[in-house]
Amino acid sequence: MQACVITLGCQMNEYDTHAIQSQLASIGYSFVDDIHDADLVLVNTCAVRGKPVEKARSILGALRKEKKRRTVTIGLMGCLAQLPEGQAMGAKFGVDIMLGPGALTDLIPALRQGKFQNFAFKDELRDYAPPPPNGALSAHVAITRGCNHKCTYCIVPTTRGPEVSRPAADILREVEALRDAGVVEVSLLGQNVNSYGLEPGLGPHRKPLPGFPSFAELLRMVGQVGLPRVRFITSHPINFTDDIIAAIAETPAVCQYIHLPVQAGANRTLRRMAREYTREYYLDRVAAIRSQLPDATLSTDIICGFPGETEEDFEETLTLYDAVQFDMAFMFIYSEREGTPAAAHFDDIPHPVKVARLMRLIERQKHWSWLNYRRWVGRMVEVLVKGPAHEGDLMQGHTRGNHTVVLPRAVAPKPGLYAVRIAHATPHMLYAEGVAIPEGRPAATAA
């Protein structure tokens, strides 16, 4: 039996896909990349924006054609499967199995029972850990699931349910197993990782759950397991407290890469988004990070053209960019999602206006990326080489600060950790030369 698992969306979906594949392997499945070779095709979906929804629709259309010519089982999983939109799509395209993101452990029973639907959020997922991936240098570890925030544009609280933290002992066991399997970089995952171990609620002053460490304490604990690199994503500014910054600064294994989504630079827009913080609060958090972590890489998410955003509001986003000087950013046009407060209560703005603002934002980001990337030229950095680059006789990897690095295959003939000197930079890439012995962690300036 052969399975093809198609993953759309975020790192949490990648983690869930690994869990899905582990279950399938346990009952004898092997894996292929081509849907035409598969007996089972599972589409692990994303519903945050319109683009991945349309991608899922296109894939299901191709699978319906495939199903007309031969026997193949089709499964729809992930966030889209949790929504009426996805369930209607599944019925239209003849999907055999549907599982919401809270029902991953029901996959094998679903296959055995045939057509099956389960959209419940199950407590046992909190304790579920897939086995280590074979031969991987990087891996993900979920520390929380779900989200308590009520951002008006976001469907995640509906698709993934309320926030639940995994026990620290379970997380550490999973990280230790990854270390023993040869993984050198672990990313701690959650919709809001820095609210790990906090009581339900919102705001910056939530109390810790009995028996749980804080996120800062968890970072220190994971940082002592013996892995060269520990990352985390995604953070919410309202919970990015000083103790987290101190834990990053004082724990050598924790990479100084901080993804801190701001979404907009105007207080008026932030209020409409229900982001819980002001522009001034966000800039205060950035200043605190810069004071203790001057070499830290800072990235963000931005939504262009949120309903009601005026030209003056957008100008405030541009000035926030100039104040923060982000190394990199993920920039999106606002995509209305059915079931969110923004879709129900706010009037959208014209698409051409959104596109024009996105183009302006991209140009501003290229300016700051170019200046930030250029400061690494001539410095030694540690690079985790993952494999071949897309073109030429080159290899590709990333620094501790998550900068993409390209280097000659002669310098890094196989995946692993290398110390290299940066010779050249563009707004999106670093180019390296020179190499240290790729055994263990090289003595290099962490980037």
Are 427 and 343 in the same domain? no
**Which helix (DSSP H) or strand (DSSP E) does residue 328 occupy?**
strand 328-333
Mean pLDDT across 398-416: 93
Q: Quick check: helix, strand or coil at residue 281?
A: helix
Q: What are the residue ranges of helices labelled H in 251-393?
A: 267-273, 279-292, 311-324, 341-345, 351-374
Judge whether 446 lies within some domain. Answer: no
Per-residue model confidence as pLDDT tens digits over 59-68: 999 999 999 9
Mean pLDDT across 12-19: 88
Judge whether 444 lies within some domain. Answer: no
- Predicted confidence at residue 444, as pLDDT, reads 38
**For residue 234, is the peptide bond before it cis, meaning its omega torsion is within 30 degrees of 0?**
yes
What is the torsional sign of CA 242, 243, 246, 247? negative
Kindly state the percentage of the chain with pLDDT values over 70: 94
Check residues 32 and 121 and name the one with the higher pLDDT.
Answer: 32
Dihedral angle of Cα 68, 69, 70, 75, to the nearest 10 degrees: -40
Judge whether 439 lies within some domain. Answer: no
Are 114 and 137 in the same domain? no
- Predicted confidence at residue 443, as pLDDT, reads 37
Per-residue model confidence as pLDDT tens digits over 322-350: 999 999 999 999 988 888 899 888 889 99
Indicate the residue type of 111: L
Residue 439 above 60 pLDDT? no
Mean pLDDT across 35-56: 92
* pLDDT bucket at 446, cuts 50 / 70 / 90: very low
Judge whether 441 lies within some domain. Answer: no
Check residues 202 and 35 and name the one with the higher pLDDT.
Answer: 35
Residue 115 above 80 pLDDT? no
Judge whether 445 lies within some domain. Answer: no
Please say which residue of 106, 123, 140 terminates a domain: 123
Per-residue model confidence as pLDDT tens digits over 257-302: 999 999 999 999 999 999 999 999 999 999 999 999 999 999 999 9
List strand residue ranges (DSSP E) for 49-136, in order: 73-78, 97-99, 116-118
- Predicted confidence at residue 117, as pLDDT, reads 67
Please say which residue of 355, 373, 391 terminates a domain: 373
Are 133 and 109 in the same domain? no
Please say which residue of 356, 373, 390 terminates a domain: 373
Residue 445 above 50 pLDDT? no
Are 119 and 169 in the same domain? no
Q: How far apart (Å, rounded) are the C-alpha atoms in residues 56 and 46?
A: 8
Q: How many structural domains are present in the chain?
A: 3
Q: Measured between alpha carbons, how far is residue 87 from residues 49, 93, 332, 355 in Å?
A: 17, 10, 26, 31
Task: Give DSSP secondary structure letters for 242-257.
Answer: HHHHHHHHH-TTB-SE
Judge whether 232 lies within some domain. Answer: yes
Kindly state the percentage of the chain with pLDDT values over 90: 70
Residue-number span of the structural domain to which 257 is assigned = 127-373
Indicate the residue type of 184: V
Are 112 and 220 in the same domain? no
Mean pLDDT across 91-117: 83
Are 276 and 206 in the same domain? yes
Query: What CATH number did the domain enclosing 426 receive?
Result: 2.40.50.140
Are 270 and 284 in the same domain? yes
Are 68 and 141 in the same domain? no
Contact in structure between 397 and 438 (CB atoms under 8 Å): no
Mean pLDDT across 312-325: 96
Are 285 and 362 in the same domain? yes
Judge whether 200 lies within some domain. Answer: yes
Per-residue model confidence as pLDDT tens digits over 218-264: 999 999 999 999 999 999 999 999 999 999 999 999 999 999 999 99
Query: What CATH number did the domain enclosing 365 receive?
Result: 3.80.30.20
Mean pLDDT across 76-101: 90
Are 333 and 397 in the same domain? no
